[in-house]
Amino acid sequence: MSESEGWTRLYLARWPTGAVTLLAASSMEHAADLLDQVDNAKECELVPFDGELWLTMRPADEPSEGPLALHYRPALEIDSQGEIIEKAFPVLHKVIVAAQRETADGDSYDEPIDREEWSAAKEIEIDRILSPSPEWKAAVERWWDGLGPPAAEGGD
């Protein structure tokens, strides 16, 4: 069984551009291989994603933008955006949490987020210098080392 045919888990990759990729891989090394196919895996942060995930898609309006578009229906499905925001965009997460209020009877509601505050937090996120974990750095190195030729055996 090859690496890509085994059990997989979900990972979140945070890119220097501010984008996030959610992908399935059998290991961090496998994730490095997959991510390197689209960009330099050494430039992103990668963390395991253990949250609930629910994505609904529909045919895209414009085929030039790809065949599928995400279709968000918060009242009907699991809202996985909160966990993604918390892991990938900590500054935006703080803004969202600050807008949450609790009533005297224990219910909660969200106050509207100020557009300027959101824009400022978004700019911080886009400009944020990434800090890959030691586990991710080691996985990328193991993956990179595995690309080289095998070591010669008992050379004389």
Residues 59-90 have pLDDT tens digits of 889 888 889 888 877 666 667 788 889 999 99
Strand partners, 86: none
User: How much is the pTM?
Assistant: 0.76
Strand partners, 57: 70
Q: Which position has the token pair 């059990």?
A: 7
Give me the pLDDT at residue 152, please.
Answer: 63
CA distance 21 to 39: 11
pLDDT at 4 over 60: no
Give me the pLDDT at residue 149, please.
Answer: 75
Give me the pLDDT at residue 1, please.
Answer: 40
Residues 97-152 have pLDDT tens digits of 999 899 899 888 889 999 999 999 999 999 999 999 999 999 999 999 988 776 66
Which of 10-24, 41-55, 61-75, 112-126 has the weakest average pLDDT?
61-75
Q: Are strands 57-59 and 68-70 parallel, antiparallel or unpaired?
A: antiparallel
Q: Where are the domains of the chain?
A: 3-142
Residues 6+ apart with CB under 8 A from 55: 70, 80
CA distance 80 to 72: 10
Encoding tokens for residue 74?
């918060």
